[in-house]
Chain A
Amino acid sequence: MELSDANLQTLTEYLKKTLDPDPAIRRPAEKFLESVEGSQNYPLLLLTLLEKSQENVIKVCASVTFKNYIKRNWRIVGILVEDEPNKICESDRIAIKANIVPLMLSSPEQIQKQLSDAISIIGREDFPQKWPDLLTEMVNRFQSGDFHVINGVLRTAHSLFKRYRHEFKSNELWTEIKLVLDAFALPLTNLFKATIELCSTHANDASALKVLFSSLILIAKLFYSLNFQDLPEFFEDNMETWMTNFHSLLTLDNKLLQTDDEEEAGLLELLKSQICDNAALYAQKYDEEFQPYLPRFVTAIWNLLVTTGQEVKYDLLVSNAIQFLASVCERPHYKHLFEDQNTLTSICEKVIVPNMEFRAADEEAFEDNSEEYIRRDLEGSDIDTRRRAACDLVRGLCKFFEGPVTGIFSGYVNSMLQEYAKNPSVNWKHKDAAIYLVTSLASKAQTQKHGITQANELVNLTEFFVNHIQPDLKSASVNEFPVLKADGIKYIMIFRNQVPKEQLLVSIPLLINHLQAESIVVHTYAAHALERLFTMRGTNNTTLITAAEMAPFVEVLLTNLFKALTLPGSSENEYIMKAIMRSFSLLQESIIPYIPSVITQLTQKLLAVSKNPSKPHFNHYMFESICLSIRITCKANPDAVGSFEEALFMVFTEILQNDVQEFIPYVFQVMSLLLEMHKNEIPSSYMALFPHLLQPVLWERTGNIPPLVRLLQAYLERGANTIASAAADKIPGLLGVFQKLIASKANDHQGFYLLNSIIEHMPPESVDQYRKQIFILLFQRLQNSKTTKFIKSFLVFINLYCVKYGALALQEIFDSIQPKMFGMVLEKIIIPEIQKVSGQVEKKICAVGITKILTECPPMMDTEYTKLWTPLLQALIGLFELPEDDTIPDEEHFIDIEDTPGYQTAFSQLAFAGKKEHDPVGQMVNNPRIHLAQSLHKLSTACPGRVPSMLSTSLNAEALQYLQGYLQAASVTLL
C-alpha cells in the first residue's frame, strides 16, 4: 500500500462503513481492513488519517482502529511460529515510533487517549532496548510549559511504569527501572516543584488549577510506581522535597477545586487519596527512612479526616486515610503517637464514630437496593467502605489500647443510646451507630459458618443484648425502625456463639415474628438468623436447639416462612428457602401434619420458577426441601410416597418436556428418592419413562450423568425383573449407556455403578448374551487408557461378578475371550493393584471375590494358575491389613449445602436426596477375614495337605501370622 491520497480515500470509505449499524455493510468492511492490515504502510495511513482527516468521526475511528491494530500485532509472538507472522514491517515500526509521541501530544484528548494506550502497548515490547529515545523525548516535553502536552506525557509514563507495582523483582526489570530513574526522576521532581508553584500563582484561576491538579495526580501516581520495588537512591536523597510537598498538599484546600457533585470524587480528593497511598507505601516498606516524616503525616491525615464531610465522593479518600492510620497504629514504635488519652478520645470521637454513622446513601440502599445492602453487610463485600475502614481502625487500636478504647467507646455508646431514648423516631441512627460500635469493638475474629469466634472480653455482650437488642425486637410493630430491627437480628446472628442458649431460645419467637416484616432486609435477616441458629452444634454432635424446644413454634415458623416468600421482593429469596430447608431438617417428624400444605406451596413455587430459573441457590434449597419432605414423611408412612408422586409428577413432566436444563438433574434425584421409597415392584408410571431415560441427548450433558445413573440404579434395584420381561429390547440401549460412560475417563466410575447394578439385579439369563462383550469392552479400556480410578472400579466389578456368578464362571469367561487371560489379569492387575481399592464396602466385595477365586476355582489348584495362588492370598491379606478409610457418619443435618449451582449446571447434588450406602455382600458375609478362614478350611478338607504346603512354601512370615490369627478367630484349622 502506498501512502497515496487514493489509498487514504479508500481507507476513509472503509472506516466509515465499519461504523454502519447494518451488519451487511459493517462486516465486509471490517473483513477488508483485516485483510489489508498486513500490508506495508497500513498503520501509517491510519496515523495520517487520525491526524489530517477532515471529519472528526474518521479521526476517532482511525485512532481506535490503530490502537486495536497495535494491540493485536505489535507483539512478535515467535519468529519461528509460522502461522503467527510478523504483520508489521520493520520500516513501519520505526516510523510509528518516530512519530507517535508528538502526534499523541498534539491530538485532542479523545485521540490522545487512544494513542497513549498504543504507546504503552508498544512500550511494553520495545521499551527500553528498542525504543531508547522514548524517555528523552518525553522528558523534553516537560519544559514545554504546555500542560496539555505535559499531561499527555505523564499519562503515557504512568501506563508504561505502572507495571512496576506488581511485577516480580528481576535483573531485567530493575535495569529498566534504573534507566527510567536516571532519565526521569530529576525532571519529574522539577516538574513537581514547578507545578506546585504554578498552583499558588494560579490560585484564583479555576481552569488552570484543574489542569495543574490533574498533573499533580499523575505525578503522585508516578511517584508510587517508581518507588514501589525499592527505595531509589534519588528519592531517598530528595525525600525532603517530595514529602514536604505531599504533606502540604494534604492540608491544602481551595474553594475553586471543590465540586458540587456528591458522588464523584473531585481532583482534590483524588490527589489526597493518592498521597495517602504514597505515605502508606513508605510507611510499610521504608519505615527506617520515612520515620522522621511519619508523625507529620499521621497528624495531617487525621486532621483531614476530621474536616472531611460525609458525602460519597469522599469515601475513597476517607477509607484510604483511615486505613493508613489503622496500619500505623499497630506498629509498636508508633504506639506513642496514639497512646495519649486525649488523642485516643479524639480519634474515637472525630474519626471513628462519624464514619460509623448510617448515612443517607446507606438508607437508600437499605430500602431500594436491599440485595446489594445484604451482600455488603452480611457477606462482607464491604472492604472499601468507610464503616469497614473505621472498624479496622478500632481493631488496630485495640491491639495496644483495648482497655482505654473500650472505655471511651462505652461512654459513646451510652450517650448515643441516651440520645436515642430521648426521641427514638428522630434519633434512631444514634442507636444504629451504637450497635455498630459495640459490634466492631467486640468482634475479634469471625467466620461465615460460626459468626464471631473471638470476642473482646471487656464488652458484656449478653447484657447489651438483653437491655438494648431484645427490647427492639419485642416491640409490637415489626415494621417500626427497620434498620434497628435488622441491626438487632444481625447482632443475634453474629454473636450466637457468645450469647447463652436461654437468650437464643427467647429470641427464636422474635425472629419468627420478624419473618413478617415488610422490609426485605429485616425478614431476610430473620430467616438467615434462624437458619444459622438451627445449625449450631450442642453437645454430642447434636443440634444446640432441639426439635422438642421448637415444638411450640412449628406452625408459626412454617407459616411465616412460606408467607415471607409472598412478600414483595422476596418471591425467590434464597435465605428464606434455606431457612425452610434447615427448619425441616431440624423439626423432622413434627412437620408431618403440615406436609400437605407445604408440598402444595413448594410445587406451586417450583412450577412458577421453572418458567425462568434465575436464582440457583433458591432453586437448590427448594429441591432440598422437597427431598426432606419426602424422606421425613415416608419414613413414618411409606405409603405416602404415592401422594408425593401425585403432587410432583405433573410439574416434573413439564420440566422434562420443556427441557428446563437447570432443573433436570434435580428432578432425577427426587425421582430416585421416590422410587427407592417403593417397597414393591416398580410402578408402571416409572416404566413408561424408562426408554426416555436412555436417550443419548440426556447423556451428553455432564450435569445429568450422576443423577441419571443414580435413577437407573433405582430402576434396576426395584424393577430388574420388569425390565427383563417387559423391556428386554431396551437392554442393549442400557448397556450402550454403560459403554458411553466407560469410554470417558471422567465418567467411567459412573459406568461401573450402572454395570454393578445390572450384574447384581438383572436375572442372569437376560444379560447372558452380552457378558462377553462387556468384558471385551473393559479389557480394551484397560489396555488403551487405564487410570487408577478405572482399575479400582474394574477390580470391584470383577469381584462382584465373581461373588454373583462364581469364580469358575469368571475364569471361564476370561479364558474364552483369550487363552490364559485369567492368569494375566490375576498377575498383572489383581495382585499388584488390589491394595489401591478404597472404601469399606468396595474392599469387602474384593475380599469375598478373591476368597472365592482362592477356594472355589479348581483351575487355581491344578493348572499353571496354581503358582498365582499364594501371591493372590498374600495380596488379599495385604488388603485386609491396610488401614481402613473412615466412613462418613450418617449425620446429614450439618452437611454444608454446596454453593455449586452455576450457569453450566454442573451436577448439583442434593444432600437430602442422599443414597444410603449399599452393601451387596452384606447378608452373605459379615466378617471377610473369618469368611476367608472358613473357606480355606473347607478347601483344605477337600484336598488335605495341599493348602498347608502351599502356605509354607511361599507365603511370607508376616502374612502367615495374620492368617493364623484369622484361623484362630474362626476356630478352624487347615488340614
Chain B
Amino acid sequence: MPVVNNHSERMRKFKNKGKDAAALRRQRAEVSIELRKAKKDEQILKRRSILFGLVDENLPLEEKRDEIIQLSLEEIVEAVNGSNTMLQLQATQATRRMLSRQKDPPINQIIELGIIPKLVEFLTRADNAPLQFEAAWALTNIASGTSDHTKAVVEGGAIPAFISLLSSPHMHISEQSVWALGNIAGDGPLYRDALINRNAIPPLLALVSPVTPVGFLRNITWTLSNLCRNKNPYPPLDAVKKILPVLICLIEHEDKDIISDSCWAISYLTDGSNDRIQIVVDTGILPRLVELMARPELIIMTPALRAIGNVVTGTDEQTQAAIDAGVLAVLPHLLRHAKPTIQKEAAWALSNIAAGPCWQIQQLITCGLLPPLVELLDKGDFKAQKEAVWAVANFTTGGTVEQVVELVRSGVLKPLLNLLLAKDSKTILVILDTISNLFLAAEKLGETERLCLLVEELDGLEKIEALQTHDNNMVYRAALNIIEKYFSGEETPGLQPGTGQDGLYDFSVEKQDFNF
C-alpha cells in the first residue's frame, strides 16, 4: 500500500537523519481525491459575464438606448443562419442576453441549437464590430460552463478566431476575447496548451502597456494566470518564460485584483518540481511575494502565501531564498490569523522549512516561530493543528539536540500530547514518531527519565497506553514500542555442547582454521 511505503520512507529518512531532509518536504495535495466541497478560497477557473441590474457598464453605449428585442429560440436559429446581418446581430444579442442572465443561463439549449459554428464565424466579421462583440460575449459565456460547454466552443473552431481578435482595433472586442480565452485556458491542461501552441501568448502580452485600462488589465492578468495553471502536464517551459517577465511587472501594480491574480499565477508556477520553482526564484520575485503575504487583504495574502508555501517545498537553497526574503518574519502573524485556511497554509509552509537542515531550523528559532507554533498546536483549527504536528515532527527529525531541547522548552509537549486524542490516525502516528525522536534526544542528554516523567505529568502516558488498543496497526505498534522502550522498566546460537555420561555438559570442540 502506498501509505505504508510513504511512512517507511519517512522513517528511513529519519534514521539517516540530516542526510536527505529534503525528502521530508511535502508537496501540496498528497491525495488527489477530494471528499470536501471545492475550496472556497481557490481562484475562479471560469467566469461568466453577467448582466447586473438594468444598467451594465460593459455594454456599448448605443445598446442601452436600443430597445431590448426578445426572440424565441427558433427565431434565433433562423436569424443566425439567415443572411440578414441586422437580424444576425439581433439574434446574437438575444442569445448573449439569455446567456448573461444571472440565474440558470440556458447554455445547453443554446449549444443544442447548433449555432456555435455560426457564432464563431461572426467573430471573423471584421466589418461588423457589434456582431463580433456580441458573438464573442455569447461564446465567452458558453465557454464559462462545464467542460462539455467549453469543448463545444473549442470544437466550433473558436480558438484561432479569438486569438486573432486579440489584435482587434476595438478594445472592447479584444478584451472580450481575452476573457473568452481565459475561460478556455481554465478548462484544463489540454486547452491551455492548445492556446499556447497556437501562439496566443505573444498577442496577449502585447496588450499590456502603461496605458491599458485597469479593467482590461485585470482580464489579461486573470487569463495569464489560467495559462499558468494546472499540472499533468505543466505548461511548457518556454511559455512560462515568456509570461513570467510580464507577471513580474503586473505584480507591482497597485490594483488588488491584478496583484491577486498575478500571485495566483506565480503560485501555479511554483506548484511543481524544483526546476519550476527555480525559474520563479531566479526572477527575484520572492521579496515582493513575502511583502504581499503580509498584506491584510485575503485575496492577496492567500495566493502570495500559497506561492511562498510552494517555494519552500523546494531545495534547501530555494527555501533559503524564501527565508532571505523574510518569510520567517511574516509567518508568526499568519500562524495566528483568524482564518483557519491561512493558519493551515502558514503551518504547512513552516513544516517544510522545519524539514530543512539545522541551520534553517536555527533561523526558525531565532525568528521566534516556536511560540506561535506551540499556540497553533494548542488552539488552532484542526487542519492547522495537523500541519503544525508535521512541523514539529520535521523539527525533531532534522534539529540538533540543542534545538530539540529549545522546542521542548517552548512548551510543545503538552499540546502535542493532547493531540494524541485527535480523530486522525496519521496525525497520531506522526506524533508518536515525534515522541520517539524526543526520546532519542533525551537519551543523548541522559534525560530519558525526566522526559518520561514529563510525558506522564502531561497525561501523555495514559494516552499512549490507550493507543495500544487502537484499531490501526501501525499506530498501535508505535504506541507499544514507546511503552516498551521507555515506560515498562523492563530489560530484556552451532557451538552447543553435548551432554556427557555424568549428565553434565560435555566440554569439547574440534579445531578448525581461523582467519578473521
Contacts and interface: CB of A to CB of B under 8 A. Distances in A.
Contact of A732 (B424, B500, B514): B500
A757 B315 CA distance: 59
B490 interface: yes
Contacts of A650: none
B37 A735 contact: no
Interface stretch (B13-21, B254-262, B277-285, B502-510): B502-510
B172 to A, nearest CB: 38
Given A447-B457, A740-B497, A828-B516, A167 B472 contact: yes
B493 A745 contact: yes
Given A695-B503, A696-B504, A171 B31 contact: yes
B475 A818 contact: no
Interface in B20-67: 30-37
A233 interface: yes
Given A285-B423, A821-B514, A170 B453 contact: no
A174 B3 CA distance: 12
Q: Which of A163, A178, A776 gathers the greatest number of chain B CB atoms within 10 Å?
A: A776
B35 A177 contact: yes
B512 A780 contact: yes
Interface residues of B, number: 59
A171 to B, nearest CB: 6
Interface stretch (A107-115, A576-584, A892-900): A892-900
B127 interface: no
B381 A288 contact: yes
Contacts of B30: 169
A701 interface: no
A78 interface: no
Interface in A755-781: 770, 773, 776-777, 779-781
Given A170-B31, A773-B507, A818-B513, A233 B36 contact: yes
A453 B457 contact: yes
Contact of A168 (B3, B489, B503, B511): B3
Contact of B456 (A228, A448, A740, A783): A448
Contact of A783 (B2, B7, B508, B514): B514
B504 A782 contact: no
A284 B489 CA distance: 35
A898 B33 contact: no
Contacts of A776: 509, 511
Given A739-B497, A773-B509, A818-B513, A166 B425 contact: yes
Nearest to A782: B516
B494 A169 contact: no
Contact of B509 (A230, A331, A745, A777): A777
A380 interface: yes
Grouping DSSP codes into helix (H, G, I), strand (E, B) and loop, the A interface class, with mixed when no group exceeds half, is: helix
A360 interface: no
Contact of A454 (B32, B457, B511, B514): B457
Nearest to A785: B494
B211 interface: no
Contact of A287 (B381, B458, B462, B511): B381
B490 A696 contact: no
B35 A281 contact: no
Contacts of A306: none
Contacts of A736: 497, 500, 504-507
Most chain A beta carbons < 10 A, residue from B2, B35, B37? B35
A777 B458 CA distance: 53
Q: How large is the interface on A (under 10, 10 to 19, 20 to 34, 35 or more residues)?
A: 35 or more
B253 interface: no
Interface in A817-868: 817-818, 821, 824-825, 828-829
Contacts of A169: 3, 30-31, 426
B486 to A, nearest CB: 13
Interface in A307-334: 331-332
Interface in A132-167: 163, 165-167
A181 interface: yes
A284 B462 CA distance: 20
Contact of B424 (A285, A743, A828): A285
A193 B243 CA distance: 54
B495 interface: yes
A128 interface: no
A171 B2 contact: yes
Contact of B507 (A168, A233, A732): A732
Contacts of B32: 171
A171 B1 CA distance: 10
Contacts of B411: none
A239 to B, nearest CB: 11
B462 A383 contact: yes
A696 B489 contact: no
B84 interface: no
A722 to B, nearest CB: 18
B379 interface: yes
A445 B480 CA distance: 23
Contacts of A163: 471
A297 to B, nearest CB: 17
Contact of A898 (B3, B462, B490): B490
B426 A168 contact: yes
Contacts of A167: 425, 472
A687 B422 CA distance: 63
Given A780-B495, A898-B489, A732 B506 contact: yes
B493 A777 contact: no
B242 interface: no
Given A736-B500, A898-B490, A899-B488, 7 more contacts: A166-B471, A170-B3, A448-B456, A730-B504, A732-B504, A740-B496, A770-B507
Interface of A: 163, 165-172, 174-175, 177-178, 181, 228-233, 236-237, 281, 284-288, 331-332, 380, 383, 445-450, 453-454, 691, 694-696, 699, 729-730, 732-733, 735-740, 742-746, 770, 773, 776-777, 779-785, 817-818, 821, 824-825, 828-829, 896, 898-900, 906
Lowest 8 A-B CB distances belong to which pairs?
A736-B505, A733-B504, A743-B495, A735-B507, A445-B457, A166-B471, A174-B33, A828-B516
29 contacts: A163-B471, A165-B423, A166-B471, A167-B472, A168-B425, A169-B3, A177-B35, A237-B37, A285-B423, A287-B340, A287-B381, A383-B466, A449-B456, A454-B457, A695-B504, A736-B507, A737-B505, A739-B495, A740-B497, A773-B507, A777-B495, A780-B509, A781-B495, A782-B516, A785-B494, A821-B514, A898-B490, A899-B489, A900-B489
